[in-house]
Amino acid sequence: MTTSDEPDQEPVAPQLVRPYVITNGRNLLGDHEFSLITLVTAAEDISRTGNLDPEKRRLLELCSGGYLSVAEIVGHSHLPVGVVKILLSDLTEEGYLFTRAPIPAAKLVDRHILEEVLNGLQARFG
């Protein structure tokens, strides 16, 4: 059979660029700011992207729509987590991206206080 007989199947090609080539052989230092839930967005002025690597441009395009977590960026880019963190770190240092910590979970209110408020409202309004 030829490939024209089966149009639904795509040929499988190996990944052409190794992760250490994308990161220039660098590793993240232990004090990096990116966890999987760190939120990332693109800076407003990203007009000077012509000299970026294709992988960095792809990450910048992903982040230009609003805040995404590092985990979401990893899922969309199909790159390893370590590689994405290194590229995001580079883009942040160069001023292309902004990061922010995730919004902390709200603290739960004491049930006793809610019951007191409910009792007060029932006493006042019937």
User: Maximum distance among all alpha carbons in the chain?
Assistant: 82
Residues 6+ apart with CB under 8 A from 99: 33, 34, 38, 39, 40, 88, 92
Distances in Å between the alpha carbon of 64 and those of 41, 68, 74, 96? 6, 9, 15, 10
> Across the chain, what does the average pLDDT equal?
80
Residues 6+ apart with CB under 8 A from 46: 60, 64, 96
| Domain made up of 19-125: CATH architecture | Orthogonal Bundle (1.10)
Confidence band for 13, pLDDT divided at 50, 70 and 90: very low
pTM attached to this predicted model: 0.64
Q: How far apart are CA 57 and CA 50, in angstroms?
A: 9
Residue in 7, 32, 12 with CA at minimum distance from that of residue 82: 32
Q: Which amino acid is at 43?
A: A
Q: How far apart are CA 105 and CA 48, in angstroms?
A: 37
Confidence band for 11, pLDDT divided at 50, 70 and 90: low
